[in-house]
A and B are shown apart, each in its own frame.
Chain A
Amino acid sequence: MDLKEKLLSSFLAFEQKVDINSTLHDVRTDALKVFENKGFPTKREEAWKYTSLNAILANDFNILPKNETAVDWKDVKKYFLNDVDTYKVVFINGVFSSHLSSTTHDGLDVCLMSSALTKPKYKMVIDTYFNQIANKEDSLTNLNTAYSLEGAYINIPKSTVVQKPIEILYFTTGASNFVQPRNLVIVGENAHVQIIERHQSLSELPMLTNSVTEIYAAKRAIVDYYKLQNDLLTADLVDNTYIEQKQESRVSVHTFSFGGNITRNNLNFYQRGERIDSTLKGITIIGEKQHVDHYTLVSHEEPNCESHQNYKGIYDDRSTGVFNGKIYVDKIAQKTDAFQQNNNILLTDKATLNTKPQLEIFADDVKCSHGCTIGQLDDSAMFYMQQRGIPKKEAKALLMYAFTDEVLKSVAIPDLQLKLQKLISMKLGVNIGFDI
């Protein structure tokens, strides 16, 4: 049985395990129908032209989460930002891990999607927000909706500044698992939150994650969201993130793609208010036969808004990258200021990159700029560094490190910035007496 058939035929069993009577039954059933009609995306679709899931789908995955698997804190400590100063929502093979987590209901909700989906007190919120901005046409998003059960539920009330970052971690281990996390993040007026999301496989077995996150930023809310992707070479990830912003809100999403086999990031911003600021930044550093595909959309639907995109990529060996950045500007979205930049370095002749800006502009008084570069390392900078006695290999590493700096320095959590600096210098082999 192939994976699609398996998913279709297991749905009944899945629904029986969860709440068959819930109002979500209709939502799930409709979503499954879309998936049934469309199936997994193939390279025949324009949006998936450069990314094929075929090889992955041939694996025999477990699709229904088992009960909690024990994982020791000491074994996974390194994947967290730190021990105490964060809220943590942690899942193992799709099941909540209470002993690794540190949730709260004290002044804000940092807890579980499963509670939010089933407990009556959350019903209104779920009816208002759940599956509202997720793309109803997208096959994989629908598949996630059909099987949505667990994930992080974060609700920050009006005027609340969350004092410590929230970490969402999804571990997979033990057997080949197909997990479908579903996160819902609601940030009230004038509230501020910082969130770090990570998917990490602990066993060298094929793992597939199809994740959906919906983020709602109310008026003047500030959301800093970080995706840290440094998974094993046996793990694949499709990340679907949908963000709706209301007036004067500021949302940034940083995506750091350093690992995994195939990683596809579908990142969608919908600006629904004036004077909104949206930031999309990323650093990709991959090698071997790894593949990372950034597929972004910024939908400017109201006047006087800004968006800033800056993605940097370094591709070694036979790795492949894709950047497709779509900017839509509605005819009423006058005075839009949309900026998009994608710079890449290919370290070998075998590494490839496809980069494509896609601008659809229907307003006449807007500023939209975009640029992309694919290059090798700057010769004159190499010579400068070598002249100071730094050997070619180290000079190269230092220059690549410098290349990523522009994005790295906009990370607003100092501990995370430090961790990323270390990760990047490790990836690049910069270990030259550097107290970064």
Chain B
Amino acid sequence: MLQIKNLHASVEDKEILKGINLEVKAGEVHAIMGPNGAGKSTLSSVIAGNENFEVTQGEIILEGEDLADLAPEERAHKGIFLSFQYPVEIPGVSVTNFMKTAINETRKANGLEDMPANEMLKLIKEKAELLEIDRKFLSRSLNEGFSGGEKKRNEIFQMAMLNPKIAILDETDSGLDIDALRIVSNGVNKLKNENNAVIVITHYQRLLEYIVPDFVHVLHDGKIVKTGGKELALELEEKGYDWLK
């Protein structure tokens, strides 16, 4: 589904990713772990098409199509979703209005009509219940004054609404208490199916107890230095990252 081949990327002439290779198949959950500064968030930004990073070598291929020339919104329209580590506050735009805009723009890009209002409402209701989100929350300005946990829950709510093929969760567990962690992971697990895939980027093993990965990759200094099964996460938790350097 997603293939990353020999990916190099820099920001302001500083090379951060130094040859990443990764293949994610439909139905899989991949975890990418690693110490601070290893390039985890850069990888997620580059896959999503953040123009602040320059891809100097390599390819990102989604279902056979090279994403190199696609803007972030075009990648989103093709099914890439990134749950942000720090979701941006947008005062004056309610969660509902933002979602309506996002969904209808995606539909438009895929040659579909706007989603009928009643269908939209039904979808919002269903996904809000999944993430245990209160109705009042949906009319608040996007992320404005949300707690860390609310922001993350809202990210997964948006993921549920947009139903992506590849969901990248960037440090989704940071700032979550145990209840929020349970709700968020439960949401992700329910959304997971045979036709999509999830990439979990995390510093700690904690989230992986809830969202169980098929593969764990360790990123260090811009490269994947080790790949294993879910037990690798436990080993990292115990030993730290130093032994892999």
Residues in chain A near residue B228, CB distance under 8 A:
none
User: Can you name the residue of chain A whose Cβ is closest to the Cβ of B143?
Assistant: A384
Residues in chain B near residue A401, CB distance under 8 A:
92-93
User: Can you name the residue of chain A whose Cβ is closest to the Cβ of B99?
Assistant: A388
Query: How distant is the Cα of A166 from the Cα of B89 in the complex, in angstroms?
Result: 36
With A389-B76, A390-B102 given, is the CB distance from A383 to B50 under 8 Å?
yes
Taking the complex as formed, is A125 at the interface, i.e. its CB lies under 8 A from any CB of chain B?
no
Q: Which of A269-277, A291-299, A392-400 contacts B (4 or more CB under 8 A)?
A: A392-400
- The answer to whether A436 and B102 touch across the interface, beta carbons within 8 angstroms, is no
Q: Which of B80-88, B198-206, B229-237 contacts A (4 or more CB under 8 A)?
A: B80-88
Q: Which of A94-102, A167-175, A402-410 contacts B (4 or more CB under 8 A)?
A: A402-410
- The answer to whether B92 and A388 touch across the interface, beta carbons within 8 angstroms, is no
Residues in chain B near residue A398, CB distance under 8 A:
90, 93, 98, 101
- The answer to whether A402 and B71 touch across the interface, beta carbons within 8 angstroms, is no
With A432-B101, A434-B100 given, is the CB distance from A388 to B90 under 8 Å?
no
Query: How distant is the Cα of A384 from the Cα of B52 in the complex, in angstroms?
Result: 13
Q: How far is the CB of A425 from chain B (nearest CB, A)?
A: 11
Residues in chain A near residue B48, CB distance under 8 A:
383, 387
- The answer to whether B101 and A434 touch across the interface, beta carbons within 8 angstroms, is yes
Residues in chain B near residue A388, CB distance under 8 A:
76, 98, 102, 158, 162
- The answer to whether A389 and B93 touch across the interface, beta carbons within 8 angstroms, is no
Taking the complex as formed, is A435 at the interface, i.e. its CB lies under 8 A from any CB of chain B?
yes
- The answer to whether B90 and A394 touch across the interface, beta carbons within 8 angstroms, is no
Q: Which of B27-35, B57-65, B104-112, B129-137 contacts A (4 or more CB under 8 A)?
A: B104-112
Chain A interface residue count, Cβ-Cβ cutoff 8 angstroms: 31
- The answer to whether A405 and B101 touch across the interface, beta carbons within 8 angstroms, is no
Taking the complex as formed, is B77 at the interface, i.e. its CB lies under 8 A from any CB of chain A?
yes
Q: How far is the CB of A67 from chain B (nearest CB, A)?
A: 46
Number of A-B contacts (CB under 8 A): 91
Taking the complex as formed, is A83 at the interface, i.e. its CB lies under 8 A from any CB of chain B?
no
Q: How far is the CB of B180 from chain A (nearest CB, A)?
A: 21
User: Can you name the residue of chain B whose Cβ is closest to the Cβ of A404?
Assistant: B92
Residues in chain B near residue A404, CB distance under 8 A:
92
- Cβ contact of A384, chosen from B49, B71, B87, B162, cutoff 8 A: B87
Query: How distant is the Cα of A379 from the Cα of B50 in the complex, in angstroms?
Result: 10
Residues in chain B near residue A433, CB distance under 8 A:
100-101, 104, 114
Query: How distant is the Cα of A379 from the Cα of B76 in the complex, in angstroms?
Result: 17
Residues in chain A near residue B158, CB distance under 8 A:
388
Q: How far is the CB of B71 from chain A (nearest CB, A)?
A: 7
Chain A CB count within 10 A is highest, among B71, B73, B98, for B73
User: Can you name the residue of chain A whose Cβ is closest to the Cβ of B117?
Assistant: A435
Q: How far is the CB of B118 from chain A (nearest CB, A)?
A: 14
Taking the complex as formed, is B72 at the interface, i.e. its CB lies under 8 A from any CB of chain A?
yes
Taking the complex as formed, is A391 at the interface, i.e. its CB lies under 8 A from any CB of chain B?
yes
- Cβ contact of A394, chosen from B88, B91, B101, cutoff 8 A: B101
- The answer to whether B105 and A390 touch across the interface, beta carbons within 8 angstroms, is yes
Residues in chain A near residue B10, CB distance under 8 A:
none
- The answer to whether B97 and A390 touch across the interface, beta carbons within 8 angstroms, is no
User: Can you name the residue of chain B whose Cβ is closest to the Cβ of A403?
Assistant: B92
Chain B CB count within 10 A is highest, among A386, A387, A406, for A387
28 residue pairs from A and B, CB less than 8 Å apart: A380-B88, A381-B88, A381-B90, A384-B87, A384-B88, A384-B90, A385-B88, A385-B90, A387-B48, A387-B82, A388-B158, A389-B73, A389-B102, A389-B162, A390-B73, A390-B101, A390-B102, A391-B105, A401-B92, A402-B90, A402-B91, A405-B91, A405-B141, A408-B92, A432-B101, A433-B101, A434-B97, A436-B97
Task: Pick the 9 closest A-B CB pairs, nearest first.
Answer: A405-B92, A386-B72, A389-B76, A402-B92, A389-B106, A388-B102, A384-B88, A386-B73, A381-B88
Interfacial residues, chain A to chain B (CB-CB below 8 A): 378-381, 383-392, 394-395, 398-399, 401-406, 408-409, 432-436
Q: Contacts A401-B93, A435-B97, A436-B97 given; 14 further ones with Cβ under 8 A?
A: A384-B90, A386-B71, A387-B73, A388-B98, A389-B106, A390-B105, A395-B73, A401-B92, A402-B92, A406-B91, A406-B92, A408-B92, A433-B114, A434-B101
